[in-house]
Amino acid sequence: MIQVKAQLGAKQTNTFRFWSRGDEVMEGTTYDNAAEFTAALSVDAGASGIMQFLGRRAIIREIAQSFETVYGVKLSLESRIRISASTERQ
């Protein structure tokens, strides 16, 4: 599993900084998605066990594009790691 750390405080700097190559998929959901899913489960008599849910999967470039569309601000993307030749082959 690849863990990606991203700093999405772009409103101040117009930059998304991330600690990965930038093509890794990040998973997330909104509070609204989580609330809607929780409410549906609470009234589903057949629901039991551990439930997992996901709002969306996206790479950092897709997240930046959504930000640009919503806020009308062109962003810079900045990877905070150096990729060595041995890492690129993996």
The secondary structure of the chain as a DSSP string is ----EEE--HHHHSEEEEES-S-S-EEE--HHHHHHHHHHHHT-TT--S-----SEEE-HHHHHHHHHHHH----EEEE-SPPPHHHHT-
The confidence score (pLDDT) of residue 84 equals 61
The confidence score (pLDDT) of residue 2 equals 41
Residues 14-32: what's their mean pLDDT? 85
More confident site: 83 or 49? 49
More confident site: 10 or 81? 81
Checking if the pLDDT of 4 tops 80, the result is no
Residues 32-53: what's their mean pLDDT? 86
Report how far residue 33's alpha carbon sits from residue 41's, in angstroms, rounded to the nearest whole number.
Answer: 12
pTM: 0.59
Checking if the pLDDT of 45 tops 50, the result is yes
